[in-house]
A and B are shown apart, each in its own frame.
Chain A
Amino acid sequence: MESSNSLPPGFAELEPFVDQWAISTEVERNRVRRNSSMEEIRGLYKAVEPRLSDIIEYLNEFPLDDMPDDARQLLRLAMSTMEITPAVELYRQPDVVHAFDAERVEILVDDPV
């Protein structure tokens, strides 16, 4: 599990999502998505989507390779939101509706954030 550093000032309302969704790799984000309920997934989407532009504007102030810990946690939440967006906007269920076994697809480029 990721450590639960608190988020930057102004993003406190996203704190409840940190434990489950502040994840640094795509492999793990995809696994958590597939093992979460639609309620949990929609919870993250509904909290982050309206604030995504604010989040990006805040994070764009920092170089990607030198972000304070609290900003990095916020970036991880936003990265998980990218992972679950198709579940909410397109498939309306956690995983792709009719798809090849996800565990059989190797994810070979996955730089941790």
Chain B
Amino acid sequence: MDPRPTNLTHKYGMSTEPMPLEPNISANYFEQEREKVFTHSWMNIGRTYDIPNPGDYLVKTIDVLRTSVLIVRGRDHKIRAFHNMCRHRGNKLTAPGIEMGSAKGFSCAFHGWTYDPEGNLVVVPDEAEFFDFDKCDNGLAPIECDTWEGFIFIAKAPKESLQSWLGEFYDRFEGYFDTPDYVRVSYYRAEVNANWKVVLDAFVEAYHAPFLHGGAYPDQLSWEDNRFAHLLGAEMFERHRVLSIEGNPDHDPSPIEKHLLKYSDQVFTLLANPEKSKGLPKGINPTRDDKWAFDINVIFPNFYIASMSVMPLVTYHFWPVAVDRTVWQTEHYMFAAKNAGELLAQQYSKVFARDVQREDLITLENTQSVLASGAFTTMPLSDQEVAVRHGYKVVEEMLR
């Protein structure tokens, strides 16, 4: 008997009806998502290890919140987040294109108001000309900020703590991701003309793998034992969800892979690695199966962490810009390469993943461009697409 889980849609109490396309094409629906979902959601904007020292900062444009966020480590080592907007007449404090840096403070390029790394206003040129003015009341506007597993989260108007928001995920990884040893070896980003859920959906099912990625993965995700890349495991939580994906333990390595495997155990295309599927925290390889390739942990609404047998950490972000526009980003983290062999294995892994992701990305605009045609107003979803369905259900409930 197939040990893989079945009847997931029923198990998690969801209807098996086709799902409406309206949420992916309606500007009104998008505005409701902005107000009722994203305004109250905790969202990841980077790693604590990106800003290790006082004065180190990150800048992140968050279109769906209509703002840019400045995340700074203060001289007290605390990480704080602010709207990246000068208290005077609203100029952005960082120059266009700047995404990270280190500073003793932030000086506005317009009239020279200057803020310290804790967000206090410290210099106002010709201050005496202002009326009833006290610098102490005119610091930067803070945004809620907290950290978990080495990830920095912000929220504009949260209704609960980060711990409560993370719910089932909060203690599932036991610090597995909270280490400076995971080095960001790749960061790919693209702005695509598609709704954020269309983009996310393309990365939360394996049903497409044998077809869309049939050329890239000749035998790893689909083979005689699992032709349709059925899920190894799936859990739907209140808002979040987890999928476990199976890999072929008998993958036949290519000539280049054979060389690389002699010098590195981080070769991306060797998806199942029984050696590396044991002794992990309860949230990593939750099925405890030897054929485990990776888990997709979707942290609602727009962030996901993939932990792989061959790579400790992969992240994806789906940043809504407009109803039909999304910034997609993905980052791979590996142990620092100690020599050329490990560096080459990393590069092979990066290139392979990047090429496959371009296959995923091409479906998005092709889909979005005809979704509003009226030809169909719903999409039938299989049991293997349970995480796609769950995503719509969670949003729908929050809009109610």
Which residues from chain A sit less than 8 Å from chain B, CB to CB?
26, 30, 49, 52-53, 55-56, 59-60, 62-64, 75, 78-79, 81-83, 85-86, 89-91, 96-100, 102, 104-109, 113
Contacts and interface: CB of A to CB of B under 8 A. Distances in A.
A49 B255 contact: yes
Nearest to B337: A64
Nearest to A84: B351
A26 B347 contact: yes
Would you call the interface of chain A mostly helix, strand, loop, or mixed? Answer: helix
Interface in B238-276: 254-256, 259-260, 262-263
Contact of B187 (A56, A90, A109, A113): A109
- Most chain A beta-carbon contacts within 10 A, residue among B255, B331, B344: B344
Given A81-B256, A104-B191, A113 B355 contact: no
A98 B218 CA distance: 16
A113 B192 CA distance: 30
Interface residues of B, number: 42
B contacts with A: majority SS: helix
A79 B347 contact: yes
A78 B191 CA distance: 31
A80 B191 CA distance: 27
18 contacts: A26-B351, A52-B259, A56-B259, A56-B341, A59-B340, A59-B341, A62-B340, A75-B343, A86-B351, A96-B355, A99-B358, A100-B190, A100-B360, A100-B364, A104-B191, A105-B189, A106-B188, A108-B189
B340 A75 contact: yes
B176 to A, nearest CB: 22
A95 to B, nearest CB: 8
A52 B259 CA distance: 6
